[in-house]
């Protein structure tokens, strides 16, 4: 079942730590969003495989934007 | 209360390999800073004459005396890099720290007899006052290794006079004695004038056979009344007088043991003096550790090495404070106070070497939607908001009531600002926290893990909590300044930049000045600078942090001024609900 990874807050995509096809575990860091002068990690909500990455480095995202899809 | 403390809630998780990999650069940078700090400490420890040279004269160095006196593995140096007035000697000329003698914690300080025979130097009295304050706060004996040639006369204007000048420690010694805190002094060498008062002001005086203490030494006794200048004839006269007095300096053992009886004991050997101190320490007031232990001491469930992968050197990177704390406390167990309320700070009870300690620290990262509750903007860890300030106020107040020492961990950029923050009473709540701390009267220590900024550095048990903060530690990532350097540059030059722009002038000069100011902030907020000027009392390796926490906990519980029986503690019951 597909699981969306959402941006918890608005900011700039600072770093993407995974690529499509990577296996990840719950609580692994997936993306770093630069916001409020800090580099905020976004964690994997569950175990799975990265199916799709919807953002790219340097992109501005809004709160709740879909960052990637896990399967 | 055994069920409360024997097994508390586990916290922390094993560190994943990919996290360690990602933190490899940061780990390396932290180690590089630690290595640099160690190198500087070593240079200062080896300042002055070499050990061989001092030994050739028949004396032990201060380092050798400390090594003989202090139980192996218990020496926790403080103020190693402290040199606030930039003495060319690189030191304030005293070496101090916490250590155990005869199974008891003491604050230990000694003159560095390798450097100008232990002279008073600028900044030294401020160093000593930190040490006497520490003994008072922890209510443990102060042990002095006196070997002080008196003032470095050419620099006297920098330390002789003033409220916190070189005479202030003698009043502090009296203050300690009035508070029932004994001061043991081992006395070596020639101690004239200021050195004489260093020798006479402690409680118990134990002398080496060649020691002397006196109101004035050879330099003063042989000195002549001022005659408006010097001539060769006068100097010849002076040389003869000095020769006479050098053979028999005033205040020798035959006077102060045989006649005045100021010296309690005299020893033939230097080590005998230290044995004498040890014997007195065996008779100092101290509870056994078991009296206040609520559980068997236990090591954390995770290795201290993990700290290097958890605490980022980069000030912008987010980390888990809870994971860090889990590497420092017994069994990686805790009882969290008000979880979910004021999420930007952790408050909870932990054990260190089996005794209860209240721990408070800044959490990092995004705090979740809807927080802070009074604003429409997101909250970020490191900042303090209304709930966090209220929670810390409550927690320290309970710790005070239950007589539980507190360890603060700072990594804070400040208290939230703006109209909404003012309406949320943050200014008042910050000062309330200061009031709450002042009201507790329990020993506290602080670790500035990374950032110590703005008023949050004050209100979170900072060194400015003079009567409560026993000492403050820094790490390789510590950065202390009123604000970030670039923020300061903007605050200082934004209006000028606007004026220059409106006047059609180039902005190069403003740009340079802003960059210079930002660089100045970087240079003056780093760990070695913080230690040099006393913003922290010592910068320690992350791997050694727990050892300092244990020293603090052991010393704070050695002879507490007041006690709350464990079955009358309220805080654990409030946490349990």
Per-residue model confidence as pLDDT tens digits over B51-108 = 999 999 999 999 999 999 999 999 999 999 999 999 999 999 999 999 999 999 999 9
Which of B438, B475, B106 lies closest to B304 in space, CA to CA? B475
- Out of B19, B316, B365, the one facing A37 most closely (by C-beta) is B316
Smallest Cα distance from A41 to chain B, Å: 7
Q: Residue B246 pLDDT > 90, yes or no? A: no
pLDDT in tens, B158-179: 999 999 999 999 999 999 999 9
pLDDT of residue B237: 82
The whole-angstrom separation of Cα B169 and Cα B128 is: 7
Residue B263 banded pLDDT, cuts 50, 70, 90: very high
Residue B272 CA to residue B206 CA, distance in Å, equals 9
Q: What is the pLDDT of residues B340-358, one digit of tens each?
A: 999 999 999 999 999 999 9
| pLDDT tens-place string over residues B456-487 | 999 999 999 999 999 999 999 999 999 999 99
What is the SS3 string spanning B189-209?
Answer: CEEECHHHHHHHCCCEEEEEC
- What are the structural domains, with CATH classification, of chain A? 3-70 (2.40.50.100)
**Cα torsion B373, B379, B383, B388: sign:** positive
Q: Is B20 on the interface with A (CB under 8 A)?
A: no
pLDDT given at position B348: 98
CA nearest B379 in A: which residue?
A36
Banded model confidence at residue B216, pLDDT cuts 50, 70, 90: confident
The CA distance from B402 to B568, in Å, is 8
Residue B189 has pLDDT above 70, yes or no: yes
Measured between beta carbons, the chain B residues lying within 8 angstroms of A28 are: 16, 18
CB contact under 8 Å between A40 and B366, yes or no, is yes
What residues 37-56 of chain A have any CB closer than 8 A to a CB of chain B?
A: 37-41
Q: What is the b/e burial string over B240-274, where b = at least 16 CB atoms within 10 angstroms of the residue's CB?
A: eeeeeeeeebbbbbebbbeeeeebebbbeebebbb
Question: In order of start, what are the domains of chain B with their CATH numbers?
Answer: 46-215+250-281 (3.90.226.10), 289-478+526-572 (3.90.226.10), 484-524 (no CATH)
What is the pLDDT, as a whole number, of residue B224?
61
* pLDDT of B231: 87
- Shortest CA gap A42–chain B (Å): 10
Beta bridge partners of B335: B349
Bond before B559 cis per omega within 30 degrees:
no
Q: Which of A6, A7, A8, A9 would best serve as a mutation to test chain B binding (most B beta carbons within 10 A)?
A: A9
Residue B22 touches chain A, beta carbons under 8 Å: yes
| B529 vs B2, more confident | B529
Give A-chain residues touching B454 at CB under 8 angstroms: none
Check residue B244 and give its pLDDT: 67
Looking only at the bridges linking them, the beta strands covering B76-78 and B94-101 are antiparallel
Query: What was the pLDDT predicted at B230?
Result: 86
Is 90 exceeded by the pLDDT of residue B249?
A: no
Structure tokens given for B416: 């939230």
Give residue-wise pLDDT tens across range B503-534: 999 999 999 999 999 999 999 999 999 999 99
Interface membership of B366 toward A (CB under 8 Å): yes
**Residue pair B555/B98 in contact by the 8 Å Cβ criterion:** yes
- Among A27, A38, A63, select the one facing B316 at the smallest CB separation: A38
Tokens of B511: 């740009």
Here the ipTM equals 0.88
Mean pLDDT of chain B: 95
Question: What pLDDT is stored for residue B498 in this prediction?
Answer: 95
């Amino acid at each position: 079942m597909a699981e969306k990874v959402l941006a918890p807050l608005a900011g700039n995509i600072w770093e993407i730590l995974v690529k499509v096809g990577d296996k990840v575990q719950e609580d692994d860091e997936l993306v770093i969003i630069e916001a409020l002068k800090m580099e905020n990690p976004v964690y994997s909500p569950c175990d799975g495989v990265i199916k799709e990455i919807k953002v790219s480095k340097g992109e501005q995202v809004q709160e709740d934007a879909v960052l990637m899809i896990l399967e | 209360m055994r069920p409360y403390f024997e097994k508390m809630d586990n916290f922390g998780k094993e560190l994943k390999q990919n996290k360690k990999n990602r933190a490899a650069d940061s780990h390396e940078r932290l180690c590089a800073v630690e290595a640099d700090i160690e190198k500087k400490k070593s240079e200062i420890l080896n300042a002055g004459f070499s050990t061989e040279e001092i030994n050739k004269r028949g004396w032990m160095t201060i380092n050798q005396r400390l090594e003989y006196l202090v139980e192996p593995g218990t020496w926790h140096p403080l103020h190693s890099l402290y040199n606030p007035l930039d003495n060319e000697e690189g030191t304030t000329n005293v070496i101090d720290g916490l250590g155990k003698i005869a199974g008891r914690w003491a604050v230990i300080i000694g003159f560095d007899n390798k450097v100008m025979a232990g002279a008073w130097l600028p900044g030294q009295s401020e160093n000593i006052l930190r040490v006497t304050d520490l003994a008072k706060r922890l209510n443990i004996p102060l042990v002095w290794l006196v070997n002080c040639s008196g003032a470095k006369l050419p620099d006297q204007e920098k330390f002789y006079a003033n409220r916190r000048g070189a005479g202030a420690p003698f009043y502090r010694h009296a203050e300690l004695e009035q508070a029932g805190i004994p001061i043991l002094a081992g006395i070596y060498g020639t101690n004239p004038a200021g050195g004489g008062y260093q020798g006479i002001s402690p409680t118990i005086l134990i002398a080496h056979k060649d020691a002397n203490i006196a109101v004035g030494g050879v330099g003063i006794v042989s000195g002549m009344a001022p005659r408006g200048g010097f001539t060769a004839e006068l100097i010849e006269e002076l040389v003869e007088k000095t020769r006479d007095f050098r053979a028999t300096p005033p205040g020798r053992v035959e006077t102060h043991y045989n006649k005045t009886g100021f010296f309690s004991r005299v020893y033939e050997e230097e080590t005998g003096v230290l044995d004498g101190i040890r014997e007195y320490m065996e008779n100092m007031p101290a509870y056994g550790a078991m009296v206040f232990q609520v559980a068997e001491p236990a090591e954390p469930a995770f290795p201290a090495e993990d700290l290097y992968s958890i605490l980022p050197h980069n000030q912008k990177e987010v980390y888990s404070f809870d994971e860090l704390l889990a590497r420092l406390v017994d069994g990686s167990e805790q009882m969290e106070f008000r979880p979910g309320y004021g999420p930007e700070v952790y408050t909870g009870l932990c054990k260190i070497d089996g005794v209860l300690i209240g721990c408070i620290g800044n959490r990092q990262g995004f705090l979740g939607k809807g927080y802070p509750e009074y604003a429409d903007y997101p909250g970020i860890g490191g900042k303090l908001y209304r709930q966090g300030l209220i929670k810390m106020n409550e927690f320290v107040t309970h710790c005070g009531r239950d007589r539980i020492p507190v360890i603060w961990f700072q990594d804070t950029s400040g208290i939230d600002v703006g109209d909404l923050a003012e309406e949320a009473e943050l200014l008042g709540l910050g000062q309330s926290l200061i009031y709450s701390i002042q009201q507790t009267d329990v020993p506290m220590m602080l670790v500035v893990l990374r950032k110590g900024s703005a008023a949050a550095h004050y209100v979170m048990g900072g060194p400015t909590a003079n009567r409560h903060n026993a000492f403050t530690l820094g790490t390789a990532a510590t950065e202390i300044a009123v604000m970030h350097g670039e923020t300061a540059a903007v605050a200082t030059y934004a209006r000028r930049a606007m004026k220059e722009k409106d006047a059609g002038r180039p902005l190069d000069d403003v740009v340079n000045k802003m960059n210079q100011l930002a660089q100045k902030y970087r240079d003056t907020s780093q760990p070695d600078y913080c230690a040099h000027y006393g913003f922290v009392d010592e910068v320690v390796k992350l791997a050694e942090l727990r050892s300092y926490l244990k020293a603090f906990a052991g010393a704070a519980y050695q002879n507490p001024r007041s006690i709350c029986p464990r079955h009358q503690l309220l805080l654990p019951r409030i946490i349990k609900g």
